[in-house]
Each structure stands twice: as structure tokens, then as C-alpha cells.
Chain A
Amino acid sequence: MNIQNLRNNSRFYILLSAVSVSIVLACWLRLTTESSQLFGIRIQQLYGYAAILLWYSALIITPLGKALPRLPGLKHLLFGRRALGVAAAYFALLHVGIAFWGQVGGFEGIALLPERFRLSLVFGVIAAAILTAMAVTSFDKVIAWMTFPRWKWLHRLGYIGGILVLLHIWMIGTHMDYFSFRSITLIMLALLFWVESIRITGLLIKKFPSLRFEKIVVVIALWTLAMTATVILPAIAGTYRNTHAGDTSHAP
């Protein structure tokens, strides 16, 4: 790839912007936060949220394109999706690095953590590893070497990574205390599940043409299944907030 093509490549601008934003965030936070400890917590949180938002954007583009094939700029969005995923991996690695070495204190520190946190960190690390593997294999030469079917299977792990991230955030994410945060997360997930349901239904109809008469039923059924699983999640995964809720001897 020559320099001229690089300057015409939207992915180049997305990645460069991601790096610049990470620098701006860190510097702005350092200047506005007196406590070094609080700075560490905040920057780790911000990088985590940036990773999630970018990952979500990368995940939703393809099914959105299937649901709305005439969406303006769809071809450009599909082209730029790869850079969004790589940027998500970049922020995820920053988040992991700061949390792991800055807050937890490395491998020695993990062994001393409460159980719930250890499990949540394992989920987070696996999700970050999946995201990193996807980022590293985002080159045309790698796709050709791996062959497209194998590469596609690897990138389908992104959905598993997404589930692990949800568990990670639910179990120890501090902002899950906010009703607004939970609501926004649910709305965004509902949208993602809706367009994915449409995409999966399209694939099912190709295999089972008779389903085309019940297309909307299949879409709603798939969406309901996904939303039910999401709503059940709090019952399965405990959070540190449950600990506080159970501690009724200390009511404010």
C-alpha cells in the first residue's frame, strides 16, 4: 500500500483518530483529576467504554446493512468496520493494561482478589484476547493465508466475546448502578438483537424457503429469545451490588 492510497483510506483516519482520542482523554483526565488513584480508575473506565462502543459499532454494521440495504454510506461503513474493530482492540488493551498492572498489581494481585472480581476479570481478559486476535487477523494477507471460511469462524468468536464483556461489566462495572446506564445498555442491545434477528432470519429462509411466510414471527421469536437471555443475566451472575443489597444492617 503506497502513501497516496493510505491518505485515501478511511481506516487510516479512524485508527489515527482513535490514538489521538486516547491521548486527549488521558491528558485531559490527568489535568482535571487531582488524585492519581482516581485518575487510574477513571482512565481505565473511559478506555473500557470506548472499546465497548467501538466494538458495538463494528458488530452492528453488517446486520444493519442487511436490514437496511439502502442505508446511505453503507459501503463506506462496511469498509470502515475493520478499523473500528482494531480501534476497539486498541482501547481494550489499554483498559486491560491499566487495570491489570495499575490497579490489580499483576498476577500476584489477581490471586488475592475476591472471588467475584477474579471471575469477572477472567471474562474480561478472554474477551480482550478474542478482540485482539480479531484485530491481528484483520489484514488481507492474513485472510488469504487463513482462508476465508476459517477467518470467518474466528471472527464469529466476536459474539462470544461480546457476551463475556456483558458479564464482565455486569459483575463489576460501577456504572451498572445507574438505572440510566442499564437502560441505555438494554436499548442498544435490543437494537443489535433486532437487526441480528433479521439477518439470521434471512439466512434461515435461504435454507428453509417455507419460513419466508412467517418471516416476522421468526424475527420476533429470535429477538425475544435474545432479550430474555439478557434479562435473565442478572439472576445468573452475581454482582458486588448484591453484596451491598444483602447488607441490610446498615441502612442509610
Chain B
Amino acid sequence: MLRNIRAPLALCGSVVLCMLIASPVASAHVLIFDTTRQTGAVLHATPDDDPIAGEQSNLYFDLAGRGISKRTHAFTLQVTNQSTDTRQLIPLSAGESSVSATYAFPHQGLYTITLTAEPSDSRQSTLRFIHTQRIARGEVSPASVQKKSPPSFLWAEIGLVFGVCMLLLISVIAWNKRRDIASYSSF
């Protein structure tokens, strides 16, 4: 019976592989809280929470269930380039429970994204969501060409070597004892 299903299985595997290769971009999410810790929002940034400098990135703030909407608040979105301290107000559109914008980060580096929600009811306080976004892909600014080398993580290097060695050791021992394992590990 297994011989009969080999070809269909191989076909399914090929289809799955093609699907994996031809995939659209996904967005990811970051949880952020306002400066007064009254409420939270979820920021979705494309692609995959890792925007590419020089390419358009879609920014969505999910505010569902927090009592914040375009009917009760006026929104502004500002992006600040931390290396040059330049600030830019970004055009945005507000949905019932979300705010979205499209922005192309000019260069790699650190940016501060600030979403301000000004309530129409003056008795309520202004909500400010601040998020630091690192752009690590795409266009490189002239100033960052000579940037300092990225931080090294010695613990990660040691851990990686240790983990790989462990896997190799496990494989070798298991292979050598495969007959004993097969006879013991069975119902």
C-alpha cells in the first residue's frame, strides 16, 4: 500500500514546496502601550515586522476594544529619525478601531514612531503610543557606512556550538545503539 501512495505523496510534497516558495508578504505584530499605561495597541508592520528601508511599509495600529476610534479621537502619526533627529508627520487613515499609514523609511537605523490620539472629550487625557523601530534592511545612509560593528553575543556563539555538538553527539550515540534502542523502545 505504501508503494501506491509514494507518487501522490511526492506530488503533494512538490506542491507544498512551490507554495512555500511563492508566498506573499506577511505582517507581524508588536504590542505597545501608551505612555500613561492606560491602554495598549498592536502595531502591525510590513513586511513581517521588519520593514525595508527605501520600500513602502504598511503600518497598522489595532485598537479594537479599547474605546478608541475615529469618532472619539483625532489621530496624528509622527516618525522621527533618531540619527538625524528629523521628524515627519505621516498621513494616516483611521478606521473604526484601527489607524493605518504607509511610509518608506529612508535609511537603515532607529526610528521612533509616535501615534497620538487626541480625545474629543476634553475630560479624557491624550494617549500617546511610542514605539522604536529598528530598520536593518534596505538603503544604507552615508553616515552609517562607517557605523560601528553590530553587537556580538558571546553567549549565543557558545550556545550555538554547544547545541550543535549536543545534536551531533546524540545522533552518533543513537546511531551506534540503534539496535538496542529498536528492541527496547517498542510496545
**B186 touching A180 by the CB < 8 A rule?**
no
Contact with A along B30-68 (1 / 0, CB 8 A): 110100011111101000111000001010101111100
**A28 touching B185 by the CB < 8 A rule?**
no
**B170 touching A13 by the CB < 8 A rule?**
yes
**A20 touching B62 by the CB < 8 A rule?**
no
Which residues of the partner chain A approach B156 to less than 8 Å between Cβ atoms? 26-28, 30-31
Bound CA span A13–B174, Å:
7
Cβ < 8 Å to B, chain A residues 17-45: 17, 19-21, 23-24, 26-28, 30-31, 34-35, 37-38, 41
**B60 touching A244 by the CB < 8 A rule?**
yes
B150: Cβ under 8 A from any A Cβ: yes
Number of A-B contacts (CB under 8 A): 198
Of B21-29, B81-89, B117-125, B138-146, the one touching chain A: B21-29
Bound CA span A199–B33, Å:
48
Chain B nearest CB: distance from A93 CB in Å?
18
Bound CA span A97–B182, Å:
35
Contact with B along A60-101 (1 / 0, CB 8 A): 000000001011100110111000000000000000000000
Tell me if B's interface is mostly helix, strand, loop or mixed: mixed
Bound CA span A23–B159, Å:
7
**B65 touching A68 by the CB < 8 A rule?**
no
B16: Cβ under 8 A from any A Cβ: yes
List, sorted by A's number, 28 A–B pairs whose CB atoms are closer than 8 Å. Answer: A8-B180, A9-B181, A16-B170, A23-B160, A23-B162, A23-B163, A27-B155, A28-B156, A31-B157, A41-B49, A105-B31, A105-B33, A112-B38, A114-B40, A114-B66, A115-B64, A117-B62, A174-B28, A174-B44, A175-B26, A179-B19, A184-B19, A240-B42, A244-B27, A247-B100, A250-B93, A252-B56, A252-B102
List residues of B whose CB falls within 8 A of some A CB: 1-2, 12, 16, 19-20, 22-31, 33, 37-42, 44, 48-50, 56, 58, 60, 62-66, 92-93, 95-98, 100-102, 132, 134, 136, 150-151, 153, 155-160, 162-164, 166-167, 170, 173-174, 177, 180-187
